[in-house]
Structure 1
Amino acid sequence: MLWLLLLTVLALLHNARAKTVHGSFDSALAWHNRGQHIVTFLFHGDQAVLCVRITNVAAAVGKEAAIYLYQDEEWVKMQRTMEEYSCPERLSLAYVSIPLNQTEYNYTLPQIVSPKAWYAIYADRYTCLMSYEDPNTDDITFEVTLLNPDAAGNPFDHFGADESGLHEFFFLLVLVYFVVACIYIQALWQTVKKGGPMHTVLKVLSNALLLQAVSAFANYLHFSRYAKDGKGIPLIGSLAELCDIASEVQMLYLLLSLCMGWTLSRMKKSQGRPLQWDSTPTSTGFAVVAVSAQIILLIWEQFEDTDHHSYHAHRSLAGTLLIALKMCLALSLACGLYRIITMERNTMKRQFYITFAKGCFLWFLCHPFFVAISYMFNEYQREKMITVGVILSQSLSMVILYRLFLSHSLYWEVSSLSSVTLPLTVSSGHKSRYYS
């Protein structure tokens, strides 16, 4: 499992996003691809600016180097019908070309009514040749900075339209985590420390919540630096995403082990011993297979999706399979839980099952739900809505599960009915060990 996590970290570092871009113009790459893609950015407002700084101006002038800006519509159309355009025609379709004949060049975009993606492409005199020939091998390094207008209308905002607001969201999220931790952490620690029938579940649930809190704090640090320089801290951003993945994997294993062990024991009418969350080989095997499949799909997705976020709109095959996996798991659990709930005659136990099912389904289905409804909104709003919606929904799911497993009075009332069918309950002879 360790090598899988290392691969994930490497993929996240490779795909780190930045809107202050450094690199070198490559004439050979530009010739091969009929233009070297530099960066894509969602500009908005009426004072958006693209700033280009280069070294070796003499080499750039000799190559007749330039940056070509394409609006989203023209670029997509051109990519779909590439065979219909020759190389010079493709370059002529650019909205504007910026000649690289000076050390620094600032270009102010026209007023943009609604946010649009703009593509910056490098090309020079060798890009459209039939065969590549470049006697001048001098490197031309560059720094491209992309800025949107801030609240005062000045071009100082490094965030694109698809990222604006996430910095403030993670700040509020970290603040909420801090306040809640100050209020409840002592009582929760005492509950976990003294043990009890819910001890294992509470530890795993707390670990998953801690990972989410670390992820939110890391995202806040990354976006705080990003707001200043357009680059952020790629390592911290990758840590945030790795914590999100670890939290989701841990919760998936917990919920699947609980649900499958619970439903399998009920179907077999097993009443011999208390049900533990990972006690049955079948439920453990099912959870391990599902978790392994999720990890493989998550890592696959990191390599496919270079525009990386913690939660994606899932345009890639791996992302689509990940959504399908969550829906299949939710459906399989719904079938087992429905049979148990309909067969249960006791109102108290049935209410416990229903509340537990709500927490599970909210966790499994929030991501597919927000991905589905995101297509009702503009493209630049989709990933923001998915990110915010999934984080809030998963937090609500954790609150539901915490309230359920910390409710000693509810467990006392249910277990007093001589039931051993609930997750992590104990037989009547051992009640006094955990409850007073």
Structure 2
Amino acid sequence: MHPVSVATLTIAIYLHCIPLSYGKTVSQVLRSAAAKENNGQYITKFLFHGENALVVCRLEETDVSMAVQKDARLLLFQQLDAFDNLSCLQRLSRAPVSIALNVVELNQTMPQMSSPVMWHVLYADRYTCQGDDLSGAMGDIRLQVMMFNPDSAGNPLDHFSAEEAGLYGFYFLLILAYFVAACICAQPLWQALHKGGPMHTVLKVLSAALLLQAGSALLNYVHMARYAKDGIGSPVVGSLAEFCDMVSQIQMLYLLLSLCMGWTLSRTHKSQSKPLQWDTSPASTSLAMGGVAAQGALLVWEQFEDTEHHSYHAHSSLPGLLLIGLRIILALLLASVLYQIIATERSTLKKDFYLTFAKGCFLWFLCHPALVLFSVVFSHHQREKIVTIGVILCQTASVIVLYKLFLSRSLYWEVSSLSSVTLPLTMSRAHRNRY
């Protein structure tokens, strides 16, 4: 099958299987049976902040009489778990905010908040806490709920939840930085790729991963630009952004593991006069593929666990914690490998190469776990922004370090030329000798 067809099929399966991210303009069908079963039908949650935060509810004109007959209302709770041990009537009666659904459109201003507060929205009616008799509750109600935070001028027009505030501007600056860097570096990089040489395939894989990162940032910006207007955005575009980011993560993992494992697992097969061995082996390929498969499976699992997913999470779910553990284990493995190489290496040139490569590897693998741990000291609404922005910046810095290393004729070129065999992921030696 053609590679383009395989890629298209993979994306289609991903978009079909992974739940799309939800905006904060929510359309919901309200059912008395669902509300009765769960002591209130859960609708959504939103992190409000400041003054003049607003909830806007809209009903279909044909459903208003049904809503009045049912005594339909929306209930807003700050800490939903605190009401789990109460009876149904006690739970509903203690809702801090209650919105009666008795007109086509109504606005509810939220209480003033000194700091961001998460509010959960539930639906309830007169049948929610009654017995099994639902004979008068057969009709459903169609509802649209819009939630707004105050903007910079204090007007309730901002669709973004408090934990998402600022990400839209960050992605704009990131896209601008990618554009400027492309204008400056695209031609020299293309010339380096066109000339070939020992770094040719490594640079191609690294460039592909960087392009996927830039594509993910662009798609996130497009999604958030639409989200800022309607509170929904483009869930398909948002999921595509996550897909590009996942592929980039997997590609970089395979590149780094293939290079590092290729050096170590096969160096014992070389004579003492030629201690440096860069060639891949079945063992190194298996380790690289195993790491890639494990990370890919955990990334996909994490998407299923989080319905309001983003490219980076606070990792409170089991697959997220396992993903952090995997990255720490890989970093420790690479640290052990590179330490053994550097400790026995006499060439200053080669040591400089390994040390620079180690910095790029550790920055890539450890930035995510370190930022997740660091974000714990901050408020809940700040954690996602710290992890998202920090990981993107750190991994971009890691790519720059690796680019500088692989394009350096004094390091990568000389080290690879000293080996009697090819580097992992590079051209064959016969092809390389022409340069």
Q: Percent identity?
A: 55
1:275 aligns with 2:278: yes
Alpha-carbon contact 2:263-2:277 (below 8 Å) kept: no
| Length-normalised TM-score, structure 1 | 0.92
Match of 1:68 in 2: 75
1:28–1:132 Cα contact (<8 Å) kept: no
2:107 corresponding residue in structure 1: 106
Q: For residues 245 and 211 of structure 1, do their structure 2 counterparts lie closer, same or farther at Cα, with a shift above 3 Å needed? A: same
Q: Is the 8 A contact 1:11 1:302 kept in 2?
A: no
Counterpart code for 2:14: T
Query: 1:356/1:223 Cα in 2 relative to 1: closer, same or farther (>3 Å)?
Result: same
What is the aligned partner in structure 1 of residue 34 from structure 2? Answer: 29
Displacement after TM superposition at 1:10 (Å)? 2.8
Aligned partner of residue 44 in structure 2, secondary structure: strand
CA contact (8 A) 2:58 2:143 kept: yes
Q: Compared with structure 1, are the counterparts of its residues 35 and 395 closer, same or farther at alpha carbon in structure 2 (3 Å cutoff)?
A: same
Asked whether the 8 Å contact 2:25–2:144 carries over to 1, the reply is yes
Give 1:140 shift. Answer: 1.0
CA contact (8 A) 1:47 1:155 kept: yes
Shift of 1:198: 0.9
Residues 7, 299 of structure 1: 8 Å contact kept: no
State the AA in 2 paired with 1:405.
F
Report 1:93-242 matches (<5 A).
93-131=94-132, 133-242=134-243
Distance 1:342 1:427, change over 3 A: farther
Query: Structure 1 CA distance, aligned partners of 2:71 and 2:13?
Result: 41
Query: Which 10-residue stretch deviates more, 261-270 or 379-388?
Result: 261-270
Structure 1 letter corresponding to 2:210: L
CA distance in structure 2 between the partners assigned to 1:353 and 1:132 by the alignment: 73
- Go from structure 1 to structure 2 and tell me whether the alpha carbon gap of 1:183 and 1:132 turns closer, same or farther (over 3 Å shift): farther
Instruction: Name the CA distance, whole Å, in 2 between partners of 1:148 and 1:36.
Output: 24
**Deviation above 6 Å: which 4+ runs of structure 1?**
1-4, 425-432
1:10 paired with 2:13, answer no
Q: Which residue of structure 1 aligns with residue 3 of structure 2?
A: none
Q: Is 1:360 aligned to 2:361, yes or no?
A: yes
- Are the structure 2 counterparts of residues 267 and 132 from structure 1 closer, same or farther at C-alpha, using a change threshold of 3 Å? farther
Q: For residue 37 of structure 1, report the CA deviation from its aligned partner.
A: 1.0
Distance change >3 Å, CA 431–CA 107, structure 1 → 2: closer
Alignment CA distance shift 1:284-1:63 (3 Å): same
Report SS of the residue matched to 2:91.
helix
User: In structure 2, how many angstroms separate the alpha carbons of the residues matched to 1:427 and 1:22?
Assistant: 58
- Deviation string 1:294-336 (CA, Å, 9 cap, x unpaired) is 1111111111111211011111111111111111111111111
- Counterpart residue type for residue 381 of structure 1: Q
Q: Deviations over 1:141-179 (max 9, x none)?
A: 111000011111111111110000000000000000000
Task: Identify the residue that residue 66 of structure 2 maps to in structure 1.
Answer: 59
- What's the TM-score once normalised by structure 2's chain length? 0.92
In the alignment, is the contact (CA less than 8 A) between 2:276 and 2:419 conserved in 1? no
Answer whether contact 2:193 2:203 (CA < 8 A) is retained.
yes
Alignment CA distance shift 1:29-1:132 (3 Å): farther
CA distance in 1 between counterparts of 2:102 and 2:336 reads 67
Residue 405 of structure 1 is matched in structure 2 by 406
How far 1:15 moved relative to its partner? 3.5
Instruction: Please say if 1:296 is aligned against 2:297.
Output: yes
**Cα drift, residue 284 of structure 1:** 0.8
Q: Which moved more, 1:153-162 or 1:261-270?
A: 261-270
1:50 to 29, 41, 55: 55
Change in Cα spacing, 1:426 to 1:253, as seen in structure 2 (3 Å) is closer
Distance 1:34 1:229 in 2: 30
Q: Which residue identity does 1:208 align to in structure 2?
A: A
Aligned amino acid, residue 353 of structure 2: F
Query: What are the ranges of 5 or more consecutive residues in structure 1 without an aligned counterpart?
Result: none
| In 1: Cα distance, 2:427 partner to 2:275 partner | 11
Partner Cα separation in structure 1 for residue 268 and residue 133 of structure 2: 70
CA distance in 2, matches of 1:20, 1:228: 10
Sort the Cα spacing of 1:290 and 1:128 in 2 relative to 1 into closer, same or farther, 3 A: same
Given the superposition, is the C-alpha separation of residues 192 and 177 from structure 1 closer, same or farther in structure 2, using an over 3 Å criterion? same
How far residue 408 of structure 1 moved from its aligned partner, in angstroms, is 1.5
Q: Which moved more, 1:424-433 or 1:373-382?
A: 424-433
AA at the equivalent of 1:8: Y
How far has the Cα of 1:274 moved from its partner? 6.7
Deviates more, 1:103-112 or 1:265-274: 265-274
Q: How many Å separate the matches in 2 of 1:400 and 1:137?
A: 64
Structure 1 residues 98-156: Cα deviation after superposition (integer angstroms, max 9, x where no partner): 11011111001121100010111101111112325143422211110000111111111
Change (3 A) 1:309 1:211: same
CA distance, structure 1, for counterparts of residue 282 and residue 327 of structure 2: 22
Aligned to 1:327: 328
Q: Distance in 2 between matches of 1:407 and 1:185?
A: 17
Shift in Å at residue 269 of structure 1? 3.2
Give the aligned partner of residue 391 of structure 2.
390
Q: CA, structure 1 residues 193+58, in 2 after alignment: closer, same or farther (shift >3 Å)? A: same
1:135 partner letter: G
Determine the structure 2 residue equivalent to 1:252.
253
Structure 1's 324 and 415: CA in aligned 2 closer, same or farther, altered over 3 A? closer
Tell me how far apart the structure 1 counterparts of residues 432 and 70 of structure 2 sit (CA, whole Å): 82
Deviation at 1:422, TM superposition (A): 9.0
Residue 191 of structure 1: how far off its partner (Å):
1.2
